[in-house]
Amino acid sequence: MANNKLVINPWKSIDVKDYNKLMKDFGIKKINPKNLPDNLYFRRGIIFGEKSLNLITVALEKNKPFVMMTGLMPSGKFHFGHKIIADLMIYFQQLGAECYIAVADVEAYLTRGIPLDKSRELAINEYLINYIALGLKPEKTKFYFQSEGAIDYMNLSKYVSKKTTYNELKSIYGEITPEKIISAFTQVADILHPQLSSYGGPKPIVVPVGVDQLPHINLTRDIAGRMKSDYKFIPPSAIFTKLMPGLKGDKMSSSDPYSYIALSEDPKEAAKKIKKHAFSGGQATIEEHRKKGGNPDIDVAFQMLLFGLEPDDKKLQQIYNDYKSGKLLSGELKQITIDKMTTFLTEHQKKRVKAQAQVKKFMAKV
């Protein structure tokens, strides 16, 4: 493009090199963790930016109702990259948000050819089970399928078409197809429908998403503004997460099992994957490593600790320093991560078994 502005394609996995440029190009504000109750992802810059998050902090201060809305693309195993959004749903739920979670089964069918029954199976047995095991509660939660939404939601997904143009869609998404247009409109309705009068009317909504979903957020915010006179919609707030690196140091993808660790993975298998496949920021030999030190910023074992496996900031900083100075070797760092991972997976998998009994409570709400 002439002005070199990035176009993000939300249907392709993206690899962001320069978050600062991205924030500038797309008007994303840097997050200020001081305005929010403590959370590891905010503290560590894993949530790096936001749009009108102040509406949510004000609602929190004044004890006013607000909504957390997000969606999931049921494309395969639930892995550590997905866990970030799940933890954020739970964070906002614990702060009092009403939660809307859309299973993007229509989008998965239109853009990836995944049959609806397959989506349903994955959404429940992979996503929902893990959400419950991580702490999501059924109270004030609407877990719904795009293909089964209520009539007001369905109609909204059509009416939004009147508030945009083909050229606008092209400039937001780049290449566009009928399937992508319908998927985008469905997502706009996902995000805005909690403000319809049948759902209690206008209120602030926060949408936690991976940065790849940014174009949908921008379209939704613009359309919300244009529907203001009819619906009094408040443009939704959003927070954007960095994308977790895959095991090999590049992209994490559900279609490549050696790029991720699933939350249902056998801990021994996970340990093997980390040992064998996790990209190391260490030096080629021990002598060299002791002399030059490692690079934690590109070391995947370290990144796993950073993304949450080591919740203690002080300990994390110590590991960072020791690795950088060469005191801590690559194999030793991997062992720290493997131990943490083993404990996490073992505990979590017990919770997954218990979670099974709760699924019904979420289904009853649809």
Beta carbons within 10 angstroms of residue 317's beta carbon: 11
Among 68-76, 114-122, 271-279, 285-293, the segment contacting ligand TRP (CB under 6 A): 68-76
Residues 254-283 that bind ligand TRP (CB under 6 A): none
Residues near ligand TRP (CB under 6 A), total: 14
What is the β-pairing status of strands 98-103 and 141-145?
parallel
**Dihedral sign (CA 219, 225, 227, 232):** positive
SS3 readout for 24-83: HHCCCEECCHHHCCCCHHHHCCCEEEEECCHHHHHHHHCCCCCEEEEEECCCCCCEHHHH
Cβ closer to ligand TRP: 12 or 314? 12
The residue within the footprint of ligand TRP, chosen from 57, 130, 164, 187 (CB under 6 A), is: 187
Cβ closer to ligand TRP: 100 or 323? 100
Cβ closer to ligand TRP: 104 or 333? 104
User: Residue 206 interacts with ligand TRP (CB under 6 A)?
Assistant: no
Instruction: Give the Cα separation of 347 and 83 in Å (integer).
Output: 15
Instruction: Give the Cα separation of 124 and 327 in Å (integer).
Output: 45
The residue within the footprint of ligand TRP, chosen from 41, 60, 70, 122 (CB under 6 A), is: 70
What's the closest the beta carbon of residue 265 comes to ligand TRP, in angstroms?
21
The residue within the footprint of ligand TRP, chosen from 31, 46, 84, 191 (CB under 6 A), is: 191
Helix (H) or strand (E) segment spanning residue 218: helix 214-226
Cβ closer to ligand TRP: 178 or 360? 178
Cβ closer to ligand TRP: 50 or 190? 190
Instruction: Give the Cα separation of 275 and 96 in Å (integer).
Output: 41
What's the closest the beta carbon of residue 164 comes to ligand TRP, in angstroms?
17
Instruction: Give the Cα separation of 97 and 243 in Å (integer).
Output: 24
Instruction: Give the Cα separation of 289 and 281 in Å (integer).
Output: 10
Cβ closer to ligand TRP: 102 or 270? 102
User: Residue 209 interacts with ligand TRP (CB under 6 A)?
Assistant: yes
In angstroms, how far is CA 271 from the centroid of its own chain? 24
Distances in whole angstroms, Cα of residue 131 to Cα of each of 89, 114, 184, 192, 303: 9, 22, 25, 23, 22
Decide: helix, strand or coil at residue 98: strand
Decide: helix, strand or coil at residue 249: coil
Residues 74-133 that bind ligand TRP (CB under 6 A): 102, 104, 107
The residue within the footprint of ligand TRP, chosen from 49, 71, 74, 81 (CB under 6 A), is: 71
Among 46-54, 187-195, 243-251, 272-280, the segment contacting ligand TRP (CB under 6 A): 187-195
Cβ closer to ligand TRP: 224 or 271? 224
Cβ closer to ligand TRP: 241 or 280? 241
Residues that bind ligand TRP (CB under 6 A): 69-73, 102, 104, 107, 187, 190-191, 207, 209, 213
